[in-house]
Amino acid sequence: MQWLIDIIQAWVITLGYLTTGYIDRGEAAVFDFDKDDLTADADWHELDLSAIIPENAKLVHITGNINYGVVAKHFAMRHTGYAEWTTINRVQTQVAGVTNFFEFSVKLDSNRKIEYILSDVAWTTVDFSIQGWWL
């Protein structure tokens, strides 16, 4: 019976199934990252996702939330080295003390890293999880 499994597996891989498309990580019980895992100094920092995401992933799907007691404080993520704000995912506080939710899709570099920036404040909440990735 293994011979049939091998034939089907080769056919599936040849057609690109299981090597392309979206991979849902499944429901998370806790956030992967929170404010204590990040540096809030208004400068870009590297975020290594290689412990979570497989080598062949191209794009990561991230959801989370931020909260702070002042408006116009931001959190952003980008592909390593991108500089134009037109290609950067970002969210900012809109009402003091009210949680803002976000959903980002960020291109990974070859080492499965991205970059993030947080306004230089003592955040109330910054939580996010890796929901999945695209191969």
* pLDDT score of 17 more than 60: no
Q: pLDDT grade, residue 12 (50/70/90)?
A: low
Q: Which CA distances in Å does 12 have to 19, 88, 135? A: 9, 35, 15
* Predicted TM-score of the model (pTM): 0.82
pLDDT tens-digit readout, 74-111: 999 999 989 888 889 999 999 999 999 999 999 999 99
Strands 113-118 and 89-92: unpaired
* Rounded average pLDDT over 17-29: 80
Question: The domain 23-134: what is its CATH number?
Answer: 2.60.120
Quick one: pLDDT at residue 16? 58
> Within its chain, how far is the Cα of 73 from the centroid?
19
Residue pair 61/132 in contact by the 8 Å Cβ criterion = yes
Return the structure tokens found at 115.
Answer: 């970059």
* pLDDT score of 120 more than 90: yes
Q: CA torsion angle for 45, 108, 81, 43 (degrees, to 10)? A: -20
Residue pair 92/26 in contact by the 8 Å Cβ criterion = no
Quick one: pLDDT at residue 131? 96
